[in-house]
Amino acid sequence: MNKKPRKHFFRMMARTAYLFFIKPADCSGLVKKSYDRISDNYDETWTGHMRDLTESLINKLNPKQDDICIDLTCGTGFASNLIAEKTQNTVVGVDSSEGMLTQARKNYDHNCNFIQADILEYLKKQDSSSVDIIACCWGLGYSKPFTVLRQIKRVLKPGGKVAIIDNSLFSLREIIYCSFLTFAEHPGKLRNLMRFKFLPNSWILRVMFRMLNLKTSYSANGNKSYTVDSGKAAINRLRATGAAAGFEYASDEEDEEQIFKRFAEIIEEKHMAHNGITVTHRYLAGIAQK
Ligand X SMILES: C[S@@+](CC[C@H](N)C(=O)[O-])C[C@H]1O[C@@H](n2cnc3c(N)ncnc32)[C@H](O)[C@@H]1O
Residues interacting with ligand X, by CB under 6 A? Answer: 28, 31-32, 35, 46-47, 54, 73-75, 78-79, 95-97, 100, 118-119, 137-139, 142-143, 242
264-269: long-range pairs with CB below 8 Å, 24+: 264/230, 264/231, 264/232, 264/234, 264/235, 265/231, 266/178, 266/181, 266/182, 266/231, 267/174, 267/175, 267/178, 267/231, 267/234, 267/235, 268/230, 268/231
In angstroms, give the least distance from the CB of 185 to ligand X: 29
- By C-beta, is 118 or 174 nearer to ligand X? 118
In angstroms, give the least distance from the CB of 38 to ligand X: 9
- By C-beta, is 43 or 67 nearer to ligand X? 43
- By C-beta, is 106 or 215 nearer to ligand X? 106
Tell me which residue has its CB nearest to ligand X. 75
In angstroms, give the least distance from the CB of 64 to ligand X: 22
CA distances from 202 to 5, 57, 122 (A): 39, 14, 25
In angstroms, give the least distance from the CB of 260 to ligand X: 21
Q: Which of 111, 54, 57 is nearest to 85 (CA)?
A: 111
Whether the CB-CB separation of 71 and 137 falls below 8 Å is answered with yes
In angstroms, give the least distance from the CB of 151 to ligand X: 12
DSSP codes, 257-282: HHHHHHHHHHHHHHHEETTEEEEEEE
Q: How many Å is the Cα radius of gyration of the chain?
A: 20
In angstroms, give the least distance from the CB of 257 to ligand X: 25
- By C-beta, is 169 or 272 nearer to ligand X? 169
- By C-beta, is 75 or 231 nearer to ligand X? 75
- By C-beta, is 111 or 230 nearer to ligand X? 111
